[in-house]
Structure 1
């Protein structure tokens, strides 16, 4: 007598786990709220300190960025000193960024390579501890007016925790752990980007008011406290998905094996064709993310000075408006487009629009042009989530942490190379065209667009197969045949 049904139900771990996805998004939201307090506080406090050093005691009697005058007479001594303050700020930002990126490269390599064995909690907690210490150090510097060199301690400790890429690595891997490898994963990864950026945008406006009215101390302190709250949420509410971890005894895991897992999909595993696809996907990701390594800090300086001379409050409004437009339209756009076109075409459209948006940003001289740039960038959201989702479908389910570690390492390498390069370009070109650096960013997105065309064409056949199979690999071998009833059961998972 038959004791087992011929048709097996899909494995539980391949189904959507809404509860875990929600908690993963809450962690990402808390992290971005904290960084939305920290980043503008650092940028504007640093500019104020540099202005005090350049101007002496003539910039005001308190550390309030609203007191930094925007001089427009190019023949005056004050205008020259203001240019010097901008250059000094850009240089100091570059040095802080380099200290962070060097430490983050090694931190991400160790942390990410172990995440497929020990779980995602550790990859959530250690970066949060590093960021909490960094915000705490900045708070102490602001309160006691310490030497800015103390901030290097915070940057290095934050980097060893793999900085923001560590949290994102854990968030994306956690989303992959709790979704089937088809269109749901694209949406889940896009939702993480949407919710965290909406949280960051909403906080940015409040941060502008906070800095304007209360100075720098309290925003920095709030950032540290939110990081502490994030750690508590991870400890008590994040659940591991054991089925997505490598089934190897932890005592046998070592750093060499972890590093081998990270680079294996590019150098050792599977066929040459599949490895080439991973390399091509990595290059698409690298050029798509390239500008993110310097755009935020440079854009703050760009808006603080001529021709805009915006206050922290106005910068907060703009950041909120531009991010909200992009993120609110992002996920609905992906979902609607998925009914008629594939992820690859969505990514191509997004890469093209972000190139156009950067071009407008580079030539912006009025407020309406800046808001036009924000609107043009509304559809630039999808390129990076689509690339992440395609590569996630290509990787085995127990290697998601290693995959997202490789992407995080790509960000860190780009930061090490490009952060000083972008700062140098901005410093060298600000006298004749302040927006020239954004034209450079446009060129990097144009390269990403061309590479994404090739990547989309080569992966299209594999991705169509993945949409109908309960697996996450694209191995170059025969795919398992399933009955029509099983395929119907799989289709109901969506």
Structure 2
């Protein structure tokens, strides 16, 4: 006689695995990353072309146009000096665009994220998509009519107010959390979002390289805007609000102050001091793991377009595809394999260490094989950020997933405002004597992340091993928190 039913009734407040919703959420994330794969390299390379033409002016020392990424090897030639000036001008312009976008996104993310747990995920999908669509359309107009580059600030502001890419990611991760049980499947679901999106980004990057090289900049930018429009239609007609995406609160009583309180409550008001300390520690792990992400893409494009690589758009597309595919195709299987023998924290520590190795190899790269070696080393660093997100998601209450991911988004934006200018100035100051020096600086930020993750793993190891065998462990089942109101308690802290 069966003593324990094979299929147990879920406990109240526990999420079930909803494959249909997860698939649709992944489709939205994929569409967004495909659009981004068209937009980002088009902007970087078009910007370098425009500013190179302005810097070179009437210079005719070489038969090849500077816009076609001529690499001047003679450091005493006028062409080499002008090219260095063009790189610095491009870095500065990228920095200004990023700062405007990040400042607007700081406000947009706070407002949008504060209301996401009350008004659902569809709004958090749609508003960022509208902002991105307008930004791509603005770049398309600038390219077609050769407008002043300052018009692009309009697109950056609107995109930022929609919370830019962080808004889409916030909605995607929160939507995954809404539709998965609080076990390792959530780690995998979040990692799958990163994987499918990055594979799409990788394949599109290679196509974009061909597109730019053969047809110029206009059509890739136009395609980006059209894909964002398709994304909006998919969200409107096919995305369903999940069961746990809305707080059971009278929406007429919801205000921004309460929303902000929910975002910071995990760190300042709710739970015991020990749990709040763990949230802060997780936030700092995320902060230092992501701090260089805002700058590395733009700087790396300039790094590859100039000495010693002198890569064309086609070769840049190939490298982006190879590095992204290596990271993502190895990432999810690696997480699944390592889960059989070690916990999330140890996986995060290992990934953070490989971040450091990859940055060091990147900084000293002088040949193509060293760049591809950096890409392979970076593949093993995939798990760090998804693991941090997943751990913090399981620590947070079920009805506060949007608020949690908003706090991570805000940390990302604050880091951008603080360090984007610094990284740009470091690159400008060091490009003359060591182009890869900035990547050594990035390695330093990942050293800090590595040490924080080691501390986090040490503090949580015993707890995680103890609750690993339970299907659902409520806060009341642990010694971590003192009894408080149920609305402020996490449904599960299982790692």
TM-score w.r.t. structure 2 length? 0.92
Q: What is the RMSD computed on CA atoms of the aligned residues?
A: 2.0
Q: Which residue number in structure 2 is paired with residue 486 of structure 1? A: none
Decide which of 456, 476, 480 is 2:480's aligned counterpart: 476
Matched residues in 2 for 1:477 and 1:66: separation?
A: 61
Q: Is the 8 A contact 2:56 2:66 kept in 1?
A: no
Q: 1:162 to 1:65 in 2, by over 3 A?
A: farther
Do 1:393 and 1:466's aligned partners in 2 also have CA atoms closer than 8 Å?
Answer: no
1:437 matched to which residue of 2?
A: 438
The equivalent residue for 1:218 is 219
Are the aligned partners of 1:347 and 1:382 in contact in 2 as well (CA < 8 Å)?
yes
**Shift of residue 291 of structure 1?**
1.1
Deviation at 1:243, TM superposition (A): 2.8
Q: Does 1:427 align with 2:431?
A: no
Residues 376-403 of structure 1: CA distance to partner in whole angstroms, max 9, x if unpaired? 1110100000000000010000000000
Q: CA deviation at 1:470?
A: 2.4
Q: Return closer, same or farther for 1:244/1:314 CA change in 2, 3 Å cut-off.
A: same
Structure 2 equivalent of residue 356 of structure 1: 357
Q: What is the rounded CA distance, in whole Å, between the counterparts of 1:471 and 1:231 in structure 2? A: 38
CA distance in 1, matches of 2:107, 2:52: 34
Alignment-derived partner of residue 72 in structure 1:
73
User: Does the alignment pair 1:227 with 2:228?
Assistant: yes
Residue equivalent to 2:202: 201
Deviations 1:248-305 (A, max 9, x none): 0111100000000000000001111110000000000000011101000000000000
SS at match of 2:341: coil
What is aligned with 2:126? 125
Which residue pairs with 1:485 in the alignment?
none
What's the counterpart of residue 456 of structure 1? Answer: 457
Q: Name 2:83's counterpart in structure 1.
A: 82
Partners of 2:244 and 2:178 lie apart in 1 by 8
Aligned match of 2:241: 240
Name the CA shift for 1:469/1:8 in 2 (closer, same or farther; >3 Å): closer
- Deviation per residue, 1:127-147 (Å, 9 max, x gap): 000000000000000000000
Q: Deviations over 1:424-469 (max 9, x none)?
A: 0000011111000000011111110110011112223443455414
Alignment of 1:86-235 (within 5 A): 86-235=87-236
- Give the superposition deviation at 1:181: 0.8
Question: What is the CA-CA distance between 1:8 and the residue it aligns to?
Answer: 6.5
Task: Note if contact 2:174-2:405 (Cα within 8 Å) is conserved in structure 1.
Answer: yes
Cα shift at 1:15: 1.6
Q: CA deviation at 1:375?
A: 1.1
Counterparts in 2 of 1:64 and 1:197: CA distance versus 1, 3 Å = farther
Q: Which runs of 5+ in 1 are unaligned?
A: 480-489
Give the secondary-structure state (helix, strand or coil) at the position aligned to 1:197: helix
CA contact (8 A) 2:98 2:420 kept: yes
* Cα distance change, pair 27–193 in 1 and its aligned pair in 2 (3 A): same
CA contact (8 A) 1:393 1:472 kept: no
CA 1:100–1:466: 2 relative to 1, 3 Å: farther
Alignment CA distance shift 1:413-1:478 (3 Å): closer
Alpha-carbon deviation of 1:59? Answer: 7.7
Instruction: Name the structure 1 match of 2:366.
Output: 365
- How far apart are residue 471 of structure 1 and its match? 5.3
Distance in 2 of aligned mates of 1:28 and 1:351: 25
- Corresponding residue SS for 1:167: helix
> What is the Cα deviation at residue 344 of structure 1?
1.0
Q: Which runs of 5+ in 2 are unaligned?
A: 484-491
Instruction: Report the alpha carbon displacement of residue 67 of structure 1 after superposing the two structures with TM.
Output: 1.9
Q: What is residue 320 of structure 1 aligned with on the other side?
A: 321
Give per-residue Cα distances to partners, 1:189-216, cap 9 Å, x unaligned. Answer: 1111111111111110000000000000
Matching of residue 10 in structure 1 with residue 14 in structure 2: no
Q: Kindly provide the CA deviation profile for residues 126-177 of structure 1, in whole angstroms up to 9, marking residues without a partner as x.
A: 0000000000000000000000000000000000000000000000000000
Answer whether contact 2:16 2:180 (CA < 8 A) is retained.
yes
The question of whether the paired residues in 1 share the 8 Å contact of 2:272 and 2:481 is answered with no
Alpha-carbon contact 1:14-1:470 (below 8 Å) kept: no
Aligned residues: 473
Match of residue 408 from structure 1: 409
Residues 462 and 351 of structure 1, relative CA distance in 2, 3 Å threshold: same
- If the length of structure 1 is used for normalisation, what is the TM-score? 0.93
Aligned mates of 2:389, 2:165 — CA distance in 1: 16
How many angstroms does 1:418 deviate by?
A: 1.0
Cα deviations across residues 59-110 of structure 1 (Å, max 9, x unaligned)? 89xx998623111110101110000000000000000001001100000000
User: Any conservation in 2 of the 1:135–1:223 contact (CA below 8 Å)?
Assistant: yes
How far apart are residue 242 of structure 1 and its match?
A: 3.0
Q: Classify the secondary structure of the residue corresponding to 1:73.
A: coil
CA–CA distance in structure 2, aligned partners of residues 136 and 372 of structure 1: 36
